[in-house]
Structure 1
Amino acid sequence: MKITLLGTGGSAGLPQIGGADGRGDWGKTDPNEPRNRRSRASIVIHADHGRNILVDTGPDLRYQLTGCGIGRIDAVLYTHAHADHVAGLDDVRILNRILGTPMPAYATEEVWEELRQRFAYAFKPWNGGFFGRPVLERNEIVPGKVFDIAGTDILPLDQDHGYSRSLGLRIDDLAYCTDVVRFDKEALAALRGIRIFIVDCFTPASDHPTHAGLATVLAWVEALRPQRTILTHMGPAMDYRTLTDTLPRGIEPGYDGMEILV
């Protein structure tokens, strides 16, 4: 199995809109380091049987997939319904055309209701023919209950995202846990034994109200002891080179387009 990090940035991406010349606000990061250019957080799971599972459909989806050379998606999984994770849903219509069928999609009941309210046109009855809009095949999942998606078993974990909830994902000995500020005892227990940990780390300082800071991530790593930890959903104070020079051994910043062999 392989994981591609499509995007590793926060909800505003990097650079953010603005800057002295209007060409982007890089915060405390070096604009000359290409790995500081970050789109919104998303991954593709390349399963052993050749199927591609897309996790979240953020607003940068089109150029993420084309930039990484991924031309087909076989299923979509949503971690939560925040705009930076769902606003690219309309591009699923192109994926429908490539697949030739409604897109198998997986989310909790709460996320399905949010999507239905915000993208009502995508939920109208489909009677075959041309995919002029996205068409999703609804599959409801429950935190803590393993489910099969495109032939891959995934354990969804309930996560504290500050003012809301999100899903972390455990796939064998890998975990993808974006958009989390705290794990409860049950979630930490479910993460025991992971070898690769892809985890939210928005700031090098204290926790953001909805995202973990570096000290919290280091505490999780100490408790879980993964062999490799890769940071994602990084904010404008997370400079790639500074992180690579200062992080403890076994912990590294991710970057858009990064491929991880599992």
Structure 2
Amino acid sequence: MKIILLGCGGSGGVPLLGGDDGHGAWGACDPAEPRNRRTRSSIVIQAADGQTILVDAGPDLRAQLLEHGIGRIDAVLLTHAHADHVMGLDELRIINRIMGKALPVYGTAQTLSDVTSRFEYAFRPPTLGFFRPALEAVIVEPGQVVHLAGLDVRLFSQDHKVMETLGLRIGSFGYSTDVVEMPDAGFDALAGVQDWVVGCFQRAPHPVHAHVEKAIDWACRLGAARTVLTHMGPDLDWAWMRQSLPEGVEPGYDGMVLESPQDGA
């Protein structure tokens, strides 16, 4: 199983819009380091047979799929309905044409209620030629193991303060974006993972996202062989993180590829 980090930035990406010259506000990030350039957080998970799950569909989705040569998506899983995780859903219209069918979109009842109200036209029956997206809402709940694109995906609840988000586990891989407090049930679901990608927005505590110290504490508790940080803001410079993070914890970057066994859930 191959996991590609399409994007590992926060809601504004890195750099943020603006800056002294209008070409971006980089914060503490060095503009000369290409791994500091971050699009909005999303991943694809590719099974051994080529079936592909897209986790979240942010506003950078078109460029991300082109950059990484992804023209097949068999299922979409939404962790929650914040704009930086769903506003690229319209781009899936071309994927509908390539695949020749509607795409199932999995999420909690609240998440799907939010996205179907924003993208009502995309959840109607498909049109001939797919002149608008064709998406099928499938409600899932934390605690379920769902079969997506040939993979058994274990779902668990995470606390994002302003809403619940979904974390996921497939085999020895776990993914936890947009979380500020991890419930015990989440740690139970992740027990034994070898590769864990987890959101970490900045150095100082944040009201709705984990910060560096908290992410490190979680990594120590979980004991994964490899913990990769994602959903990072302009406070987190690549070189600073490489120098400051403990062994076994590392920053992700757009285009990073992880290989992980897909058996078990």
Give the alignment's TM-score, normalised by structure 2.
0.96
How do 1:1-80 residues align onto structure 2 when only pairs under 5 Å count? 1-80=1-80
**Displacement after TM superposition at 1:91 (Å):** 0.3
Cα contact 2:123–2:137 (8 A) shared by 1: no
Structure 1: which 4+ aligned runs deviate by more than 3 Å? none
Matches within 5 A, 1:136-215: 136-206=135-205, 208-215=206-213
The residue number in structure 2 matching 1:82 is: 82
1:68-113 C-alpha deviation (Å, 9 max, x unpaired): 1112111111100000000011001011001000012211111111
**Cα displacement (A) at 1:245:** 1.6
Q: What displacement does 1:117 show?
A: 0.9
Q: Could you tell me how far apart the structure 2 residues matched to 1:194 and 1:261 are? A: 13
CA distance in 1, matches of 2:105, 2:222: 30
Alignment-derived partner of residue 226 in structure 1: 224
Query: What does residue 263 of structure 2 align with?
Result: none
Please give the alpha-carbon distance, in whole angstroms, between the structure 2 residues aligned to 1:37 and 1:140.
Answer: 34
Deviation at 1:192, TM superposition (A): 1.0
Which residue does 2:122 correspond to in 1?
Answer: 122
**1:105 corresponds to which letter in structure 2?**
V
Structure 2 unaligned residues grouped into runs of 5+ = 261-265
CA RMSD of aligned residues (A): 0.9
Structure 1: runs of 5 or more not aligned: none
Alpha-carbon distance between aligned partners in 2 of 1:212 and 1:194, rounded to the nearest angstrom: 19
CA distance in 2, matches of 1:147, 1:2: 19
Q: Percent identity?
A: 52
Contact 2:59 2:88 in 1 (8 A): yes
Following the alignment from structure 1 to structure 2, what is the Cα–Cα distance between the partners of residues 68 and 139? 27
The answer to whether the Cα contact below 8 Å between 2:228 and 2:252 also exists between their aligned partners in 1 is yes
| 3-state SS of 2:13 partner | coil
TM normalised by structure 1 equals: 0.97
How far is the alpha carbon of 1:52 from its aligned partner?
1.1
State the match for 1:242 in structure 2.
240
State the Cα distance separating 1:125 from its structure 2 match: 2.8
Equivalent residue of 2:189, what SS?
A: helix
Paired with 1:211 and 1:191, the residues of 2 have a C-alpha distance of 19
Distance 2:106 2:26 in 1: 34
